[in-house]
Amino acid sequence: MSRYDERQRSSDYIDYQRTNYIRGEQDWISSMEGGAAYHSDSWGTKNLTTGDSWQGQPYNYVNFEGRNPKYNEQLQAIDSRELFQKHRR
């Protein structure tokens, strides 16, 4: 049963990565805001905790480089399975 559960967790992460790539989206984590999650897509970047959003070219998926629009901080991209399991569950 543990192997099945592990395979399912792995499949969830692979699906998450593939879907984000196809849609042109990325999720980010802010360490300054206690692990608040941000989501960037083709329209802009949104803080998923507060609902604040920033639109326009510097904040869309293509141009957003992970600079927190609210604080002087580099956001951490959710690009590993460990971060995915910690923050996106």
**57/6 Cα distance (integer angstroms):** 39
**Which residues touch 85 (CB under 8 Å, ≥6 apart)?**
9, 13
Reported pTM: 0.86
Paired with 55 in beta bridges are 44
Mean pLDDT by 10 residues, the chain (89 residues): 91 94 95 92 94 94 93 94 83
Q: What is the pLDDT of residue 87?
A: 83
Other C-beta atoms lying within 10 Å of the C-beta of residue 30: 20
Q: What is the pLDDT of residue 89?
A: 55
Structure tokens at 17: 């990565």
Residue 84, classed as helix, strand or coil, is helix
Q: Residues 37, 27: contact at Cβ < 8 Å?
A: yes
